[in-house]
Amino acid sequence: MLYKYSGITKQGKNVNGTIEASGEEEAKKRLKSQGIFYKDISATKEINLKNFSKREMPGPLLSSFSKELSSYLNSGMAILTAIRLIEDQHQKEKKYASFLASLRTMIEEGKSLYHALNSQSVYAMPDFFLQSINVAGQSGKMVPVLIQMGNFFSTQAKIKKQVSSALAYPTFIFVVAIGMVGFLITFVVPKITGIFEDTGQELPPITQFVLSISDFLGNHYIGLILGIVGAIIAFKLAYNYIYAFKKFYDSIMLKIPIIGALIQNHELGRFSYILSLMLASGVSYAHAVKLATTTFSNTAFKEIFEQASHKVIEGNKLSYALQRTKGTKPKRNFMQALALGEESSEVANILSNIAALYQEENDDKLKLLLSLLEPMMMLFIGGVVGIIVAAMLLPIFSMNLGAKI
- In sequence order, which residues have a C-beta less than 8 Å from that of residue 75 and are 6 or more positions away? none
As a 3-state breakdown, the chain gives helix, strand, coil percent values, each rounded to 5, of 75, 5, 20
Question: Do residues 270 and 280 lie in contact, with contact meaning Cβ atoms separated by under 8 Å?
Answer: no
Residue 273 CA to residue 254 CA, distance in Å, equals 21
Residue ranges of domains in the chain: 2-44, 57-125, 142-405
Backbone dihedral angles phi then psi of residue 43, each to the nearest 5 degrees: -70, 140
Give the type of residue at 405. I
pLDDT at 238: 92
Which residues, listed in sequence order, are joined to residue 41 by a DSSP beta bridge? 5
Residue 130 CA to residue 267 CA, distance in Å, equals 19
- 30 by Cβ neighbours in 10 Å (0-12 / 13-18 / 19+) ranks as middle
- 386 by Cβ neighbours in 10 Å (0-12 / 13-18 / 19+) ranks as exposed
Average pLDDT over residues 266-294: 84
Residue 382 pLDDT exceeds 70: yes
Backbone torsion region of residue 35, taken as left when φ is above 0, otherwise alpha when ψ lies between -120 and 50, otherwise beta: left
Stretch (H or E) spanning 36: strand 36-44
pLDDT at 193: 67
- 349 by Cβ neighbours in 10 Å (0-12 / 13-18 / 19+) ranks as middle
- Kindly report the CA angle at 298 between 157 and 133, in degrees rounded to 5? 55
pLDDT at 68: 93
Helix axes 299-313, 285-293, angle to 10 degrees: 160
Stretch (H or E) spanning 2: strand 2-9
Residue 21 pLDDT exceeds 80: no
Residue 67 CA to residue 44 CA, distance in Å, equals 31
Other CB atoms within a 10 A radius of the CB of residue 87 amount to: 17
Pairing mode, if any, of strands 36-44 and 14-20? unpaired
DSSP 204: P
Tell me the pLDDT tens digit for each residue of 24-72. 666 777 788 778 887 777 766 544 444 445 678 888 899 999 999 999 9
Tell me the pLDDT tens digit for each residue of 116-154. 998 888 888 887 788 778 878 877 788 888 888 888 888
Rounded percentage of the chain residues whose pLDDT exceeds 70: 90
| Verdict on whether the full-model pTM lies above 0.75 | no
- Kindly report the CA angle at 360 between 355 and 365, in degrees rounded to 5? 125
SS3 state at 7: strand
Question: Do residues 210 and 185 lie in contact, with contact meaning Cβ atoms separated by under 8 Å?
Answer: yes
Question: Do residues 349 and 341 lie in contact, with contact meaning Cβ atoms separated by under 8 Å?
Answer: yes
Average pLDDT over residues 314-341: 87
Poorest-pLDDT segment among 268-272, 275-279, 304-308: 275-279
